[in-house]
Structure 1
């Protein structure tokens, strides 16, 4: 007690006063510093900085703080009064938001856009030249020319209709705009051979079948070599006045020609054994040998394709100015040959391909 009273009595209170004051100052400083750090964390400038220094701190990048686990309360000052504009793709990428899927978005119809209807073209043919073009039992146009034309039109995705015209009216009808193409076994012009396709103002496709000459013989006959010496003295049936008669006379001068008024008569002579060979159009002989009447006979030897006699084949005939359609037909024809469609169509009329 004496020590305690002595301490209070001898200036202890005076010594304790300054220490309490320092504790008070320290506590005030800690409180102010904690508040300043909190304001600085929230992005507000410290109150004791000058205006320039505040701006510098405001512009300085702020490191992101720790992740907030609880839901953040909206800042009323930042809440827009009206709905904001949609985010751009760049903003969505910056915020790592999922981008909209175009496949799931409803397509906006184009104003005034309508599907273009398929082009319609008219194919002119004769309808009186079997097996290439003719009318079947129901009166509908049929034959190799017609079936191939349909396949070509399907390949180039155009709608085709057919119109039959007499042979001598096919080219005039094409020139008058009554059709867009002639597919009627019209031969490609060649020296010494007349063809309506040689008229001015016309263009031709690639050949869609060839027309060589060929020999036929009886199936049980011993094949003969197709040489002038081997055929010397042999009887060859031909149609009178035909290019096939002219060719045999030129190529096999020592052969014995049996001349008949028609190809059918020459075929009958071969079937009855009245001639060793028959020389005629390859395509017609293929057709005949596949029929009951021609079952006796078959084609032998090579095909003879001398253009001066047998031409370059048959082509599609179009008007000048329709080069695009002609080129489309050429591309389609090559495609039908490559995928086997041509061979399938040909086998329906002949015993082999006529390309």
Structure 2
């Protein structure tokens, strides 16, 4: 079975190389640049993070020339569809709703936990105010939970809302929240239970770009098979991060 998977991946990678040779274009990789450790701007003003390292490796394996484009989260799908870039690689969870508009590769982060963070263990998660980034699966969850949802354009603003008392808690990817809580010196803490949402994180593409999707799928498969994807996940998210078996 493993040999068959590797053979299929090799064929798809070859197809991706053929795609690159035929089209001779640069693949524009769209990201947010504001969601560490997935993606962020470093001190030099360049995009950095797990997804940048991952995307560069995927492009190298598929023999594609790639460049990075940043876009605000709330318009990241419309700008993919309109052709401003060719992929979304921005901590985007795979959901049925999004899959109706765009296509996804297989996930490169397994389904993981979302979590609540507040300044008190008594934070009201069902009748209080909960902050979430707009157009995220976390915002959708809060909207249906009975809590009062307050949405912000950036993840930093959701945490700031808790710190300044505008919200009782923030609900976001736990991977994003862990380093913030650790660095808060006890000001912030996890409250309530973790919640499993979505089908993992994948790369978004236009539904018409089937060859490009096949190329990236094959590159992701090859990284899962040789262990380099797990190594990259542990590097950026820590030893407790979920990995692939």
Q: What TM-score do the two structures reach when normalised by structure 2?
A: 0.60
Partner residue of 2:38 out of 125, 128, 132: 132
Partner residue in 1 for 2:76: 170
**Residue 353 (str. 1) matches residue 223 (str. 2):** no
The alignment partner of 2:52 has SS state of: helix
Aligned CA distance change for structure 1 residues 331 and 296 (closer, same or farther; 3 Å): farther
**Residue 329 (str. 1) matches residue 216 (str. 2):** yes
The alignment partner of 2:236 has SS state of: coil
Q: Which runs of at least 4 in structure 1 moved beyond 4 Å after TM superposition?
A: 116-119, 234-239, 241-247, 261-268, 294-303
1:64-123: CA deviation from partner (whole Å, max 9, x where unpaired)? xxxxxxxxxxxxxxxxxxxxxxxxxxxxxxxxxxxxxxxxxxxxxxxxxxxx59763111
Please list, as runs of the form range in 1=range in 2, the aligned pairs for 1:280-319 lying within 5 A after superposition. 281-288=173-180, 291-293=182-184, 304-305=195-196, 310-319=197-206
Please list, as runs of the form range in 1=range in 2, the aligned pairs for 1:225-244 lying within 5 A after superposition. 235=122, 240=130, 243=138
The alignment partner of 1:349 has SS state of: helix
Tell me if the contact between 2:31 and 2:90 (Cα under 8 Å) persists in the aligned partners.
yes
Partner residue in 1 for 2:113: 212
Q: Which structure: larger Rg? A: 1
Deviation at 1:142, TM superposition (A): 1.0
The alignment partner of 2:203 has SS state of: strand
Aligned CA distance change for structure 1 residues 169 and 263 (closer, same or farther; 3 Å): closer
Which of the pair has the greater relative contact order for Cα pairs under 8 Å at 6+ separation?
2
Tell me if the contact between 2:130 and 2:171 (Cα under 8 Å) persists in the aligned partners.
no
1:241-280: CA deviation from partner (whole Å, max 9, x where unpaired)? 5559859x79xxxxxxxxxx95467699xxxxxxxxx986
Q: Equivalents in 1 of 2:173, 2:40: separation in Å?
A: 19
Aligned pairs, number: 197
Partner residue in 2 for 1:189: 95
**Residue 152 (str. 1) matches residue 43 (str. 2):** no
Deviation at 1:346, TM superposition (A): 2.3
Tell me if the contact between 2:131 and 2:158 (Cα under 8 Å) persists in the aligned partners.
no
Q: Equivalents in 1 of 2:218, 2:186: separation in Å?
A: 37
Tell me if the contact between 1:287 and 1:349 (Cα under 8 Å) persists in the aligned partners.
no
Name the Cα RMSD after superposition. Answer: 4.2
Aligned CA distance change for structure 1 residues 319 and 279 (closer, same or farther; 3 Å): closer
Q: Equivalents in 2 of 1:139, 1:181: separation in Å?
A: 21
Aligned CA distance change for structure 1 residues 315 and 279 (closer, same or farther; 3 Å): closer
User: Which residues of structure 1 form unaligned runs of 5+?
Assistant: 1-115, 217-233, 251-260, 269-277
Tell me if the contact between 2:80 and 2:205 (Cα under 8 Å) persists in the aligned partners.
yes
Partner residue in 1 for 2:154: none
Deviation at 1:159, TM superposition (A): 1.5
Partner residue of 1:179 out of 79, 85, 110: 85
Deviation at 1:161, TM superposition (A): 0.9
